Chains A and B, each alone.
Chain A
């Protein structure tokens, strides 16, 4: 690598906020080691130390506060909550695969049952391949999902056991080997905690030792109260630990289940895939056939197998898995919404900003409006947006959900301003030398704008865009909460509404997700901004 490309690489790393890697690279090259060590200390060690200190303080202080949902979660509980969200999406993945499998079984079944009818299909009977092969593959798949479903049920069944003896009996009753093996893991690692907690919890609730009686002296009453408080705190901590353990066990189960699904031999997979392909190609043909029959019937000709065709048509119709949104999908929805809002905002703000920057009078005209609307909170915009959009957006077959549009427009209304203001300033403050070039060359208006003014203003425009995206992302959560757009905001709201012992950890997971994604978006925008800026921070 030449020195030049090396320097460019280092510059690039710095623009994408990876400057802290640079001392490591230089150290590996043996360049001035003591300076690099110092740079690593100040650029890497100190931030890591700060994060560790934060985690330590969080960990020690969180368990001191007991809420109606248990103790305030510490870092480990939040991490565990993230793990259970991951489990949830793995479970959805497994359920969807099972859904597809059952659909496939049904379709093969129907094509067998109505093979006589299918012979009349315009274009000939469909080719589903060798029926014996198909049956074998379907049976193999059914077996896999039998195993998987039992496996996923193990920890529920075992953890309600009274003691180790009954748990082992339950384990014996399992049909498949993997479930039995997994049951022993659950018995070893989860069951003792479950039993201990249940016992402690029951004792605490039943015990009268903590009940303050009328006859108790002040002193005794105070002691009882203190004891009660201490015991409930101990229980809360125990429960937190138990939840973490449950989540670990579920992670093991879902991972094992997915591995089992992936372990289906490729030969079997190929047969199953060809069944799916045949089903997909049959779908439009059946549809067209049924329509043709209906038309013929309207014209007077009867077809005696119409009901059978209808049944076939229904079973081959597109039937996607109606699962619930997973956390990852909710993040996706949020990102989509914020980008839509950001796009709307940019499409309005950049042209308007250019016009304001070019003409002082237009700028003076818009300025009071900008100053008044800029500080308005999304919570104030949203009801207005909901009412207006609700009145205007009433298509029969909506391409976008109403909640999505409401959130996106609210985001746009709040994130419009930084881009607008920065674009106007950028355009208005175009270097006089550049404008003189345009004057001397007698560039026409169009060329002046696109060759001189806009490129000169681009760094500031991108500064504005970066600020806008930051504002948009911050505002989005509030907008989604109120508009019930199925993203992170709604997730937080739902968690808050159906309060459980995991509520707080889940919301904290959302807090970190929002923070980390916001940081990533900002880094992307920062890199873009550096890329379009010129002069000192030359583009790479």
Chain B
């Protein structure tokens, strides 16, 4: 497989099948995605459609059933520190201080650097995410938001080829979420990292991404539609929300999630091992998503007022 040199990540006919009691469940089928170097791509879709599955396959923590994943032109084989990962829960080692958690990775990647240099790298990233005064605190002494900051610092400190984020702000309150989105955006633009982020927050996706990849519902989920987000960078939240395209894009995404996510672009396989969820449940899901988003906007404008 030949890839164009400026594609950092390429997935080709990526498929994941879990063997279950009811027979093989095809979660993701023929998932095709190309991400350019330095690009920020969000993966959006209904809960359970297979976003995390795709991301964990890219991370190397989940085996690929068929198809291939190419990072910087080379096919991936297992996990490695060339991909910085931030999950919904930061999975810090609770017996180590924030600094030691970051150092654990830095020591692995920069093993040729001196002890002092490695410490400086770790301290630098912790400072950037705003934890300069909590270097020696254990995760148990930090708030959720601070722990996630450590997680972000740890991912960036590895100096990875690519960042993989799976709903990194999903468990945070909206105020902290906004702060951390900014932290992430600053770090990302400073380090020019290629990033793939899973989210189901439409506003978050719009604020951060260059492109938004909408996934169809599972089973046999695949890329439904790709949305270019061309707000100028560097971005700030206020300018993005006031951009004339903002509500059009937002409406488009919501419409996709509400109406088109369950329509497969190619013909649906009548032999699919799993039934679509019952209509009622799906409607509930959608309205829940919608309410969440509306709530999000309200909170966002409340916060903007607060800042102004």
Interface residue ranges, A against B (CB under 8 Å): 431, 433-434, 436-437, 439-443, 451-452, 455-456, 458, 532, 534-535, 538-539
Known: A440-B81, A534-B94, A534-B95. 20 other contacts (CB 8 A): A431-B91, A434-B91, A436-B61, A437-B104, A439-B61, A439-B79, A440-B61, A440-B83, A441-B105, A441-B108, A441-B158, A443-B104, A456-B95, A534-B138, A534-B139, A534-B140, A535-B94, A538-B138, A538-B141, A539-B138
User: How many Å lie between the Cα of A307 and that of B61 in the bound state?
Assistant: 86
| A458, closest chain B residue (CB) | B95
A538 near B79: Cβ-Cβ < 8 Å: no
Interface of A is mostly: helix
From B140, which residue of chain A is reached at the shortest CB distance?
A538
Residue from A431, A434, A440, A539 with most neighbouring chain B CB atoms (10 Å): A440
Q: What chain A residues lie within 8 Å of B139 (beta carbons)?
A: 534
Q: Which of B60, B80, B93 contacts A434 (CB 8 A)?
A: B93
Complex interface bits, B47-65 against A, C-beta within 8 A gives 1, otherwise 0: 0000000000001110000
| In the complex, chain A residues whose CB is within 8 Å of the CB of B94 | 534-535
Contact B93 A455 (CB under 8 A): yes
For residue A431, which residue of chain B has the nearest CB? Answer: B91
Question: Is B87's beta carbon under 8 Å from chain A?
Answer: yes
A443 touching B108 in the complex, CB below 8 Å, given contacts A458-B95, A534-B95, A535-B140: yes
- A444's nearest neighbour on chain B, judged by CB, is B108
How many residues on the B side are at the interface (Cβ–Cβ under 8 A)?
24
Is A440 touching B93 in the complex (CB atoms < 8 A)? no
Q: Which of A433, A441, A458, A535 contacts B89 (CB 8 A)?
A: A433
Please encode chain B, from 70 to 89, with 1 for each CB lying within 8 Å of some chain A CB and 0 for all others.
Answer: 00000000111101010101
* B79 partner residues in chain A, CB cutoff 8 A: 436, 439-440, 442
Rounded to whole angstroms, the CA-CA distance of A431 and B87 in the bound complex is 14
Distance between A535 CB and nearest chain B CB, rounded to angstroms: 6
Chain A residues near B96: list those with CB within 8 A. Answer: 455
Q: What is the minimal beta-carbon distance from A402 to any residue of chain B, in angstroms?
A: 42
- Asked whether, in the complex, the Cβ of A436 is within 8 Å of the Cβ of B91, the reply is yes
Cα separation A441 to B59 with both chains bound (whole Å): 11
Give, as a whole number of angstroms, the nearest-CB distance from B146 to chain A.
Answer: 14
Q: Counting chain B CB atoms within 10 Å of each CB, which of A433, A458, A532 scores highest?
A: A433
Contact of A441 with B104 in the complex, beta carbons under 8 Å: yes
Q: How far is the CA of A455 from the CA of B139 in the complex (A)?
A: 14
The distance in angstroms between the C-alpha atoms of A532 and B79, with both chains bound, is 30
Per-residue contact bits, chain B 82-119, to A (CB 8 Å; 1 contact, 0 not): 01010101010111100000001100100000000000
What 5 A-B pairs come out closest when comparing CB atoms?
A: A433-B91, A534-B94, A538-B140, A455-B95, A439-B79
* Chain B nearest Cβ from A437, distance in angstroms: 6
Chain B min CB distance to A41 (Å): 33
Contacts of A442 in B (CB 8 A): 79-81, 108
Cα of A535 to Cα of B60 in the assembled complex, Å = 28
B182 nearest CB across to chain A (Å): 26
How far apart are the CA atoms of A303 and B141 in the complex, in Å?
80
B93–A452 CB distance below 8 A: yes
Contact B138 A440 (CB under 8 A): no
User: Chain A contacts of B93 at CB under 8 A?
Assistant: 434, 437, 451-452, 455-456
User: 27 A-B residue contacts at CB 8 Å?
Assistant: A431-B91, A436-B91, A437-B91, A437-B93, A439-B60, A439-B61, A439-B78, A439-B79, A440-B59, A440-B79, A440-B80, A440-B83, A441-B81, A441-B104, A441-B105, A441-B108, A442-B79, A443-B104, A443-B108, A452-B93, A455-B93, A456-B93, A456-B95, A534-B138, A534-B139, A538-B138, A539-B138
Residues from chain B with Cβ under 8 Å of A451 in the complex: 93, 104
Q: Which residues of chain A are within 8 angstroms of B140 by Cβ–Cβ distance? A: 534-535, 538
Give chain B nearest CB distance to A459 CB in angstroms. Answer: 10
Within 8 Å CB of A439, what residues of B?
60-61, 78-79
| CA distance in complex: A308, B158 (Å) | 82
Contacts of A434 in B (CB 8 A): 91, 93
Binary contact track B114-129/A, C-beta < 8 Å → 1, others 0: 0000000000000000
* Interfacial chain A residues near B85, Cβ < 8 Å: 440
By a CB distance below 8 angstroms, the chain B residues around A441 are: 81, 104-105, 108, 158
Chain B residue with the shortest CB-CB distance to A452: B93
Q: How many angstroms between the C-alpha atoms of A431 and B139 in the bound complex?
A: 15
Task: Please name the residue on chain B nearest to A534 by beta carbon.
Answer: B94
Determine the distance from Cα of A83 to Cα of B91 in the docked complex, in whole angstroms: 58
Q: Which residues on B sit within 8 Å (CB–CB) of A443?
A: 104, 108
Whole-angstrom CA separation of A532 from B91 in the bound complex: 18
Expressed in whole angstroms, the Cα–Cα distance for A441 and B106 within the complex equals 9
Cα(A532)–Cα(B59), bound, Å: 32
Most chain B C-beta atoms within 10 Å of own C-beta, residue among A433, A441, A456: A441
Rounded to whole angstroms, the CA-CA distance of A335 and B117 in the bound complex is 49
Closest chain A residue, CB of each to CB of B83: A440
Write the nearest CB–CB distance from A387 to chain B, whole angstroms: 45
> Distance (Å) between the CB of B115 and the closest chain A CB?
16
Q: Which residues of B contact A539 (CB under 8 A)?
A: 138
